[in-house]
Each structure stands twice: as structure tokens, then as C-alpha cells.
Amino acid sequence: MKPIRFLVLLMSMMLITCATCSAVDVQEALSEDIGVSELEMSLPAEAVNAYGSLWLADLTDIPDRLEQLWIYVTGLSHDPILSAIRGGAGLILTSLMISFCLIFTDNRSVRLAGVAVIALYCMRSVESCVSVAKDTMESLVTFSHALLPCLCTAAAAGGAVTSAGVKYAASMLFLDGMLSLMQTVILPVVYAYAAIFLAGEAAGNGILQSLGGLIRSAVKWLLILLTTVFTVYLSVSGILSGTVDASAAKAAKTVLSASLPVVGGILSDASSTLLSGAMILRNGIGLLGMLSVLAVCAIPYLTLGSHYLVFQASGAAASSFCDLQIGGVIRGMGNVFGILLGMIGSASVMLFVSIISLMQAVQIG
């Protein structure tokens, strides 16, 4: 009787201690933990308009998505390009009128009135483009607040605990810094550049004109410096922290599989599966982020770029048939679009670099 009793006792204990065990979809579980659905809900309006719905599960066909983006951009490109061309045509007509006036007389008040007309005409386009740049920057920073934590969590779940944290902190610091820099420094400086440049042109003062040029160069170099420092910092910190992550993960796997003879190997394999799932998820989130950033930036790039090119061309044309001074005013005001384009370009490049950097966070095999 004794062995039977022992057997019954053993089986009862096994039944009591047995936990429910079932297969779990790793990616689905991770998606819930990381908050992918919240990210999908907080996509910028431009991304929703471009792609319809952008779910992580549907991101398998990238060429289709790019085609959707192309259709979106070509559909909306008509208005900004037409507005830029209209602006350029208006400037050429105004320059023609001024040149007509200058044929009859070289009176200084006519020249001053001409500069004033051109400046007033240009400022309307500048103001509309400044608001486009402002909206785009805010949209990029708001989206980065939703995207980067999610991407960072996915990268950390994929084993890049230290590097993801470092990169996330740097990205948020630089992007938030860029937004506040834009609102407090760059936009006032853009207006100051326009004011000083126009005052210099109206008064025919070479010092003011040079000061305007200096301000423009300073903003350009500031943007280049910020982007370079950010990229270098992200690369160097990524290399250092990535090595730490890779060695930590390798050591953990080795210890696990070596210390527990059979179960350790199974656990090590399971952890590899989990890491691979997290990496796939991380890449998907990164891709979703890149597609969204492209959708946000495409139309502002087109608007500012077309205005810049049209104003430069109009300036060159006005210099040839009208007056060098009038052409110079148009080209100088066109440079404002160049500064705004550089600002949006720097912010989007920073966001792109941080996404790619988090996507390339340590590969643990």
C-alpha cells in the first residue's frame, strides 16, 4: 500500500503545483507592453492623410506605402508650387513696373518706393512660410514625443538597455532644444535678418547689408553645428553603450546556459526568441516613424523649396531686366526661405538619425 500512497501523494502535489502553460504570441504581447497601439493612434494628421491607416502589422509592403506617399505628395504639391509661381510672377510684374518707372527717372524716392513695394510683396509669402515651418517643427516634436519612448522601449526589450536610454535622452534633449531654439532664437533672428537686410537695401547702407549676410551665415552654421554635434554624439555614445549592452547580453546568456544544464539552454533559446521578437517590433516602429516623418516633411519641403527657388530665379530675372538693387532685395528675401528650409531640414535629419540609430541599436545574436 505504501508505494501506492506515495504515488497518489506525488501526483496530487504535481497537480497542485502545476501552472497553466500556453503558447504566447511574443510580438503581440510585446506590442501591448510597449504601447504600439497608442503610437498608431497618435500618428500625425499628414501621415494619416497620406497612408490612410498606418498599422504596424500592415507595414510589410514598403513600396506600396512609398507609392501612397508619392500620390499624396503629387496630389497636394499643386497648391504650394502654384503659390510660389504666383508669388514669383507677381514679383516679376512688380519689378517690370519699377523698371518702367526707372526708365523715366532715376529719382531716389521712386527707387525707395520700389524697394518698399517689393519688400511688402515678399513679406506676405515669408509670413505664410514661417507659419508652415513653425507648424512642421511642432508636429515633428509632438510626434517624436510619442515615437521615441516607444522605439526606445522596443530597443531596450531587444537587449539594448543602456544604448537605447542614452540615445533616447540625447534625441529628446536635442529635438526639444531645437524647438525652443527655433522659437526663441532662430525665428526672431530670421525676422531680424529680414528687417536689417531691407533697411540696408532701402538706405543703401553697405554695413547693414553685410550685417544681414552675417546673421544669415551665423544661423546656417548654427544649424550645421547642431546637426553635426547631434549625429557625432549619437554615434559615439551608441558605439560605447552598444558594446556594454552586447557584452552584458552575451554574458547573461552564457551564465544561464552554463549554470543550469538542461533548463538553462531552453531558457537561453526562449530569451533569444524574445529578443528577436523585440528587434522585429523595434524595426517596425522605426519604419512607421520614418514613413510618418516623411509624410510630415514632404509638403513643407516642397513649399519652402519651391518658394526659395522661385524667389532666387525671380531675383536673377529682375536683376537682368530691372535693377540690380531690386533683384538683390528679391534674392535676399528668398534667403529667408532657405533659412526656414534649413531649420526644418535639421530637425527632420535629427529625428531620422535618432530613429535609424535606435533601429540599429546593438544586434544580439
Partner 1 sequence: MLGFAAVVCVLFLSVRLLDPVIAFLSRLRSADSASGQYYSPLLKCLAAAVITKLGSAVCKDAGQNAASAVIEFIGTLVALSASLPLLEAFFSMLEELV
Question: Residue count at the site for partner 1 (CB under 8 A)?
Answer: 32
Q: Binding mask 194-213 vs partner 1 (x if CB under 8 A, - otherwise)?
A: xx--xx--x-----------
Residue 123 and residue 190 in contact, taking contact as beta carbons nearer than 8 Å: no
* Nearest to partner 1 of 86, 145 (CB atom): 86
**How many residues appear in the chain?**
365
CB of 5 or CB of 104, closer to partner 1: 104
Burial of 26 (0-12, 13-18, 19+ CB in 10 A): middle
Could you tell me if 72 and 295 are in contact, meaning their C-beta atoms sit under 8 angstroms apart? yes
Q: How far is the CB of 179 from partner 1 (least distance, A)?
A: 22
Q: How far apart are CA 117 and CA 110, in angstroms?
A: 10
Helices (H), 105-186: 108-157, 161-181
Shortest Å, Cβ 123 to partner 1? 6
Interface with partner 1, residue 149, by CB under 8 A: no
What is the DSSP secondary structure assignment for residue 231, as one 8-state letter? H
User: Does residue 94 belong to the site contacting partner 1 (CB under 8 A)?
Assistant: yes
Near partner 1 by CB under 8 A: residue from 104, 206, 259, 261: 104
The residue (of 28 and 127) whose beta carbon lies closer to partner 1 is 127
Instruction: Round to whole Å and give the CA distance between 114 and 107.
Output: 11
281/333 with CB nearer partner 1 = 333
Q: Which stretch binds partner 1 (CB under 8 A): 190-198, 204-212, 237-245, 300-308?
A: 190-198
- For partner 1, the binding residue among 10, 13, 120, 270 (CB under 8 A) is 120
Residue type, 167: K
Q: Does 246 interact with partner 1 (rule: CB under 8 A)?
A: no
Contact assessment for residue 298 and residue 181, using Cβ atoms and an 8 Å cutoff: no
Sign of the Cα torsion 106, 108, 113, 115 reads positive
Among 26, 76, 85, 112, binds partner 1 (CB under 8 A): 112
**Closest CB 84 distance from partner 1, rounded Å:** 14
Shortest distance, CB of residue 212 to partner 1, whole angstroms? 12
SS3 177: helix
Are 335 and 215 a contacting pair, CB within 8 Å?
no
d(CA 198, CA 91): 16
Residue 116 or 225: the one with the smaller Cβ distance to partner 1 is 116
The answer to whether residue 285 forms part of the interface with partner 1 (CB under 8 A) is no
Q: Which is nearer to partner 1, 294 or 329 (CB)?
A: 329
Q: Find the shortest distance in angstroms from Cβ 277 to partner 1.
A: 55
Compute the least distance from the CB of residue 303 to partner 1, in Å: 18
Question: Phi/psi zone of residue 171: left (φ > 0), alpha (ψ -120 to 50 degrees), beta?
Answer: alpha
- Contact range with partner 1 by CB under 8 A, out of 117-125, 155-163, 262-270, 351-359: 117-125
Name the minimum Å distance from CB 199 to partner 1.
Answer: 6
Count of beta carbons in the 10 Å neighbourhood of residue 295: 24
Residue 192 lies near partner 1 (rule: CB under 8 A): yes
Binding string, residues 54-93; x marks residues near partner 1 by CB under 8 A:
-----------------------------------xx--x
The alpha carbon torsion through 10, 16, 22, 27 (nearest 10 deg) reads -120
Classify burial at 128, counting beta carbons within 10 Å of its beta carbon; exposed 0-12, middle 13-18, buried 19 or more: middle
The least distance separating partner 1 from the CB of residue 218, rounded to whole angstroms, comes to 17
Which residue carries 499643386 as its cell? 78
Q: Which of 10, 29, 71, 113 binds partner 1 (CB under 8 A)?
A: 113
Q: Show the beta-strand stretches assigned E in the chain.
A: none
What spatial distance separates the first Cα and last Cα of the chain, rounded to whole Å?
A: 54
Under the rule (CB under 8 A), what is the footprint of partner 1? 89-90, 93-94, 96-98, 100-101, 104-105, 107, 109-110, 112-117, 119-121, 123-124, 191-192, 194-195, 198-199, 202
